[in-house]
Amino acid sequence: MTARSRRWATPALGLLLVTSILAAVAFGAVAIAPWTTARLILWKLHLAARPTGVPDSTAVILFQLRLPRVLLAALVGAALAAAGTVFQALFRNPMADPAIIGVSSGAALGAIVVILLGAGGALDAMGVSAAAFVGALLTAFVVYRLARLGPSVQVATLLLSGIAVAAIVSAVISLVMTFSGQNIRSIYFWLLGGLGARGWQSVIAASPFMATGIVIAMWSAHDLNLIALGEERAAQLGLDVERFKIVSLATGSLLTAAAVSVSGLIGFVGLMTPHILRLLVGADNRRLLPASILGGASFMILADLVARTAVRPEEIPVGAVTAVLGGPFFLYLLRRERKAARARA
Amino acid sequence: MNGRRFAPVLVGLAVLVSGCAKPGAPASAPPASPSTQSFPITLTDDDGVSVTIKAPPKRIITFAPSNTEIVFALGLGAELVGVSGSFDDYPPQAKTITQVGGSGDFGVDPNVEKVVSLHADLLLTISGGDQWKTRLRELGVTVFTINATDFEDLLHDIRTVGEITGASTAAATLTGGMAAQAQAVQAAVGHEPRVSCFFEAYYPPLTTVGPHTFIYDLLSRAGCDSVTANAKSDYPEWSVDQLVAEGPAVYLVASESGVSAAAVAKRPGFSAIPAVQGGKVFLVSSDLISRPGPRVAEGLMALARLLHPAVFST
């Protein structure tokens, strides 16, 4: 990658995000022309008269179904990508993803317990999301406490504790599912991940946490660069390493918990988006974080668009789409980069 | 935690569970007719397996609540030594019979040891579970599979069960009565305009039934012009966008979906659906329509009444 292409990457990703939003709002089981969308939005903002010749159902689809879903996709994609970037820098491990310290498994267990306890109507409410959020943060806290020996937390211990706790929680989930009877369909849906069900409720519930997490992550981008050099170097360069580790863990966990609680388990985005963007903009977190956030949001929106329209009017799980679309693209970039590196050598 | 690993099992399970719903009022079973057929009898079951039954079974296990209902309705309750599980709740006597289910990774397979220990001479089941079926056959248990794809096929399946259990006469009486009820529904709503409707099997995600399912056939017979006619899969996850755009006049909810009509109306976007605006959101007993058994005719009548209230009010 040249310095020139790096400079243009962020504006280009911004443009991609805007284009993705426009496309995702326009397409679906029913197509809504961008012009119609614009007129309806102006009307909603009391800036224009109600557009004539647009059926009521179109307005309902736009405002109650499609807009919140597209925004939620953007938020979830951005949060997962940001969490993945933070964890990869903090753990100095390319395998780190938002689920790395058991947050996703904890969220799943929380959600599943509420699905099993709350019969019927409870599922329509936000109870499942709230339980997932609590389960996620509790798990992160438990992992952190387990890994903490004396005043400091060893990153390797944290990683292993996270993997062990996640394995235990996953086993409990399998056990619970064995006895879940008819609710297994809701659990299955939740495990696969989806953005459809709850509209603005989810957007409103998750966005404060996600916004907070993203602001803290952006603000600590420079410190993430330091920690990537190793803890000793970072400390020599003036970073309060222990405090920074706690803040980063909390930030990543908060972002993941917020995303998982409203979307279920959507894999791949958090792991691969930072890698893909690193190939495009380099490893400097001050550039990588915003790029990952924009890229993750766009990718999630497009993946959900495919999930909604590929076998229209049926829907397919968005988590499957993210991996199927993103995997080959990542492998292509990876091979191209390696080839270029070899040619330079 | 990776949920994708569970996908195939769970899809199969969803189908199985949808075939197992809950109770209503007891039906009076005709007495078991004396065997007039000749045994041994060899038939090909709905898995395509050729099964030979040497003598009228005296120790039957049913694996699926629908099959339990069929066996009781044929007057063979006394021969039943095992049922699948707690879903087998109709008729009420079924609840006292040994349960053989609850095994396997997802708790939906029969416990092979328990089945063998009951010395069953027939295990009557539904599609799915090839592994344990093979295992049981190796252990000498006669396994017979029925899988009703529509109402006519259900009548055929019940007659088949009659044949292999020596209860052909009872099966003929039972299916004759069911056919007559279906005929009555056809006579009442057949000439009425079809009503655009949507059937919710489960939520969330919004799950409905495709045209090749048993429930879809009942809906069609009851006069429903389903908005899911172009569905490709059997239990598709349906786009709410599409549902709002189609605007069905009647919205039917399987009772096992576990929601109230009021809760349906409150979901994002649903306020624009004519069925919601017109108070035409109805709960339908899952037991009567999703269990391919003797009470399906009753379920068909219930659906017809909801879709065409005017025809039945007079």
Asked if A139 contacts A103 with a C-beta cutoff of 8 angstroms, the reply is yes
- Which of A148-152, B129-133, B264-268 bottoms out in mean pLDDT, i.e. has the lowest? A148-152
Q: Looking at residue A26, which CATH number applies to its domain?
A: 1.10.3470.10
- Is residue B28 situated within a structural domain? no
Average pLDDT, chain B: 85
d(CA A294, CA A20): 11
Mean pLDDT, rounded, for A307-322: 86
pLDDT band at B37 (very low <50, low <70, confident <90, very high): low
Which among B87, B239, B243, B255 is the top mutation candidate for probing chain A, defined by the most A β-carbons within 10 Å of its own β-carbon? B239
Is the CB of residue B117 less than 8 Å away from at least one CB of chain A?
Answer: no
Pick the last residue of a domain from B138, B156, B178. Answer: B178
Name the phi and psi angles at B287, rounded to 5: -60, -35
* Same structural domain, B68 and B119: yes
Mean pLDDT, rounded, for A203-226: 93
* Same structural domain, B169 and B208: no
Pick the last residue of a domain from B113, B145, B178. Answer: B178
The predicted-structure confidence for A89-142, as pLDDT tens digits, reads as follows 988 888 888 887 888 889 889 888 888 876 444 555 577 788 888 898 899 889
The answer to whether the CB atoms of B268 and A121 lie below 8 A apart is no
CA A281 to chain B, closest CA, distance in angstroms equals 30
Mean pLDDT, rounded, for A211-236: 91
> Is B161's pLDDT higher than 90?
yes
- Which of A103-107, B107-111, B126-130 bottoms out in mean pLDDT, i.e. has the lowest? B107-111
- Which residues lie closer than 8 Å to A299 by C-beta, 6 or more apart? A77, A81, A269, A273, A322, A326
CA A237 to chain B, closest CA, distance in angstroms equals 38
- Which of A75-84, A175-184, B132-141 bottoms out in mean pLDDT, i.e. has the lowest? A175-184
> How many other C-beta atoms are found inside a 10 Å radius of the C-beta of residue B192?
13
> Is B107's pLDDT higher than 80?
no
Q: Looking at residue B152, which CATH number applies to its domain?
A: 3.40.50.1980
* Same structural domain, B55 and B169: yes
- Is residue B237 situated within a structural domain? yes
Specify whether the backbone of A317 is left (phi greater than 0), alpha (psi in -120 to 50) or beta: beta
- Is residue B296 situated within a structural domain? yes
- Is residue B22 situated within a structural domain? no
> Is B266's pLDDT higher than 50?
yes
Among residues B19, B256, B265, the alpha carbon closest in space to that of B157 is found at B19
Q: What separation in angstroms does the CA of B152 have from each of A294, B159, B162, B219, B225?
A: 56, 11, 16, 14, 19
d(CA B61, CA B120): 6
Burial class (CB in 10 A: 0-12, 13-18, 19+), A242: middle
Pick the last residue of a domain from B178, B205, B230. Answer: B178
Mean pLDDT, rounded, for A295-315: 91
Which among A27, A61, A70, A103 is the top mutation candidate for probing chain B, defined by the most B β-carbons within 10 Å of its own β-carbon? A61
Mean pLDDT, rounded, for A51-60: 84
pLDDT value at position B75? 94
From chain A residues 202-261, the ones with a CB under 8 A of any chain B CB are: none
> How many other C-beta atoms are found inside a 10 Å radius of the C-beta of residue B232?
12
Residue numbers of the domain that contains A267: 3-344
Is the CB of residue A150 less than 8 Å away from at least one CB of chain B?
Answer: no
- Is residue B17 situated within a structural domain? no
Name the residue facing A314 among B203, B238, B259 (closest C-beta).
Answer: B238
Q: What angle do CA A165, A168, A170 make, to 5 degrees?
A: 105
* Same structural domain, B143 and B218: no
Number of domains chain A contains: 1
SS3 (DSSP) at B205: coil
* Same structural domain, B172 and B198: no
In the chain, the amino acid numbered B155 is: L
- Is residue B59 situated within a structural domain? yes
Is the CB of residue A315 less than 8 Å away from at least one CB of chain B?
Answer: yes
* Same structural domain, B153 and B203: no
Number of domains chain B contains: 2
Specify whether the backbone of B258 is left (phi greater than 0), alpha (psi in -120 to 50) or beta: left
* Same structural domain, B103 and B166: yes
Is the CB of residue A178 less than 8 Å away from at least one CB of chain B?
Answer: yes
> How many other C-beta atoms are found inside a 10 Å radius of the C-beta of residue A119?
11
* Same structural domain, B161 and B293: no
Residue numbers of the domain that contains B234: 191-313
Instruction: Give yes or no for a cis peptide into A290 (omega within 30° of 0).
Output: no
d(CA B68, CA B63): 7
